[in-house]
Chains A and B, each alone.
Chain A
Amino acid sequence: MAAFFLIIRTELVLFLRSRGVWIAGLFLLLFGVWTATTIRESPLVAWNTLGAAALLLSLLLSFLTGDQISHDYGRHIDGVLLSTPISTLTYVWGKFLAAVISLMGLAALYLVAQLLVNQFDTWRDPPFLLGHSHYPSFGLWPFLLIWLVAILIPVLFGAALTLLGTTLLHGQRILSSVPLLLLWLGPVALQHWPTWLDLTVASLSRHFSFDGNTAATRLVASWKTALPPTNTLAERVVQLAQSDFSRPFPAFFLESRLIYAGMALLLIIGTTCNVYRHRCHG
């Protein structure tokens, strides 16, 4: 077990000492602030905003890692590492879990930024691209829920897919990114994408008719005066938007999460077999 934890720790150190990680972290913090303020300006489409942000974020995070094993081959460290008594299972799982922890850490920055921004009361004329806050705080639940269902599993799957892809293709990022792009953008672009195969929340959004026909949008549409809304109306809109996040998930959505979690496991088993084969046959 010491070797397993050491591999994780070393990979985390390598990740933290790489040049891009701090830029990525800063970007995710700003992205979290931006999505939180966007929702506070326009809570009617909170679900779609958070869903789209989750899609972009999980795709971006999946691109950030996955080359831990192919880098070992490329840097010619594999000969030394694989001639030690370490088991192939320990080596691959250590690399994978380190990637997941790294990505979850970055995704946590995004979540923390959202939760912090959401603690503030209403505001006007914020700097840069940030929106006004005409509506009261949204609470923690919508952010946590989207993080859990639309970021956690996709990042887990994305990390497993890129690890296998870059390992099989000896670090060729472009080729190994093709299935990733297909699985992430397919459900958004294609109306008839199988719902059980949807890694994003696009099918769920269509199922709940979140694309413009919610109780909150109907309420605001019936309201004729200009912004800012009255306090009573603002609270009512937020309540209705929050209720979007309390609906029970349909079976297909839970199935898709389970399918992708299972596929992540199979991909890691595939990577382990590939490394084992490499270890024996070069």
Chain B
Amino acid sequence: MVILHLNAVSKRYETRRWALREVSFRQGKGVLGLVGPNGAGKTTLLRILATLLVPTEGIITWNTQDISINARDARRELGFLPQDFGVYPQLTAREFLQYIGTLKGLRGVQLQQRVGEVLEMVHLTAERDRRLRTFSGGMIRRIGIAQAFLNEPRLLILDEPTVGLDPSERVFFRQMVSGLQGDRLVILSTHIMSDVEAMATDLVLLQEGRLFWSGTPASLVADAEGGVWSATLPRDDLEALQAAYRLSSIIQNGDDAQVRILAHTRPVAAATPAMPTLEEAYLSLLNEPG
């Protein structure tokens, strides 16, 4: 059974800026959504988990093994898609995946088979012998996803995996991650809350390098209950309302506007309590104005 355990993990860069402070949590198999505003430390945490950075303080164990000490063992079980994923444009899709697959320890028939499977998985089999320089941004992202899955990792780290994918590819990707079988942990960092809603079984929120909240998506929504309001107002009132509260959605309808408002108390007389979405729950929790 897979267990990832972070114990008071901190990271300070040479600039003396703390990117992470004393982050601790324990996670078993499933899909962990890692969310937080820009600069919250998500990418730093993912790079530490991908053994590309060593924490300044604290310990991370993967199945009881310290990944800083046993980095090579951890890398054998790891699949990583970085936020900025690049390729060698001179290689074909198949050559590139064979290259990464070999570095991950795959050989011979097994390598050929896995390359074929992941190309099929991301719907790029027909393009396998095309040079990567001819691929679109979305296709390159799919190659990134394919390489992360090559070694059937038990720890799969995906940093903004759906950026650049079109809506149908995004839906397909969500289904793929949600449908992953077996004893494995997927850690997913994203700004797109609908991705988290569709895939994550657990959530960790980071803010200013610290663990701010952790739990399940359902418990996050439950925590935010009573903090979201719905109202239909004349469009002329919108400006004043926006100045006072954070609005999570505005739907224009003739002279009126249907709005959803984040507020701890009833913001206007016409407002009625609404069931928060995950995105609204996240915004409420970060104590945004309203």
Report A's interface with B, CB cutoff 8 A. 2-3, 6-7, 10, 13-14, 17-18, 75-77, 79-87, 279-282
Report B's interface with A, CB cutoff 8 A. 13-14, 47, 50-54, 72, 75-76, 78, 80-82, 84-88, 90-91, 95, 99-100, 102-105, 107, 144, 147
Give, as a whole number of angstroms, the nearest-CB distance from B252 to chain A. Answer: 40
Task: Return the contact of A80 from the options B14, B54, B91, B147 (Cβ within 8 A).
Answer: B147
| Complex-state Cα separation, A6 to B97, whole angstroms | 12
Q: Which residues from chain B contact A280 at a C-beta distance below 8 Å?
A: 53-54
Task: Return the contact of B75 from the options A13, A17, A75, A84 (Cβ within 8 A).
Answer: A84
Give, as a whole number of angstroms, the nearest-CB distance from B62 to chain A. Answer: 13
CB atoms of B105 and A85 under 8 A apart? yes
CB atoms of B88 and A14 under 8 A apart? yes
| Complex-state Cα separation, A82 to B103, whole angstroms | 9
CB atoms of A79 and B52 under 8 A apart? yes
Q: Which residues from chain B contact A84 at a C-beta distance below 8 Å?
A: 75, 100, 103-105
CB within 8 Å for A281 and B54 given contacts A2-B102, A79-B80, A85-B76: yes
- Which secondary structure dominates chain B's binding surface? loop
Chain A: CB-nearest residue to B133 = A17
| Complex-state Cα separation, A13 to B102, whole angstroms | 16
CB atoms of A75 and B95 under 8 A apart? no
Task: Return the contact of B82 from the options A2, A18, A79, A87 (Cβ within 8 A).
Answer: A79
Q: Which residues from chain B contact A82 at a C-beta distance below 8 Å?
A: 52
Task: Return the contact of B102 from the options A6, A75, A77, A79 (Cβ within 8 A).
Answer: A6
Interchain residue pairs with CB less than 8 A apart (16): A2-B102, A2-B107, A10-B99, A13-B90, A13-B91, A77-B87, A77-B88, A79-B85, A80-B82, A80-B144, A83-B78, A84-B75, A84-B103, A85-B104, A281-B54, A282-B47
Give, as a whole number of angstroms, the nearest-CB distance from B35 to chain A. Answer: 21
CB atoms of A83 and B80 under 8 A apart? yes
| Complex-state Cα separation, A86 to B103, whole angstroms | 6
CB atoms of A17 and B53 under 8 A apart? no
Give, as a whole number of angstroms, the nearest-CB distance from A5 to chain B. Answer: 9
| Complex-state Cα separation, A79 to B54, whole angstroms | 14
CB atoms of A14 and B102 under 8 A apart? no
| Complex-state Cα separation, A82 to B104, whole angstroms | 10
| Complex-state Cα separation, A83 to B82, whole angstroms | 10
| Complex-state Cα separation, A84 to B72, whole angstroms | 8
Top 5 A-B pairs, shortest CB-CB distance: A76-B86, A75-B86, A79-B82, A17-B90, A84-B103
CB atoms of B90 and A3 under 8 A apart? no
CB within 8 Å for A80 and B76 given contacts A13-B91, A17-B90, A282-B13: no
CB atoms of A281 and B53 under 8 A apart? yes
CB atoms of B103 and A6 under 8 A apart? yes
Q: Which residues from chain A contact B81 at a C-beta distance below 8 Å?
A: 80
Q: Which residues from chain B contact A75 at a C-beta distance below 8 Å?
A: 86-88
Q: Which residues from chain B contact A77 at a C-beta distance below 8 Å?
A: 86-88
Q: Which residues from chain B contact A10 at a C-beta distance below 8 Å?
A: 88, 91, 95, 99
Q: Which residues from chain B contact A86 at a C-beta distance below 8 Å?
A: 103
Given A75-B86, A282-B47, 14 more pairs with CB closer than 8 A: A6-B102, A13-B91, A75-B87, A79-B52, A79-B82, A79-B85, A80-B100, A80-B144, A82-B52, A84-B75, A84-B103, A85-B105, A281-B53, A281-B54
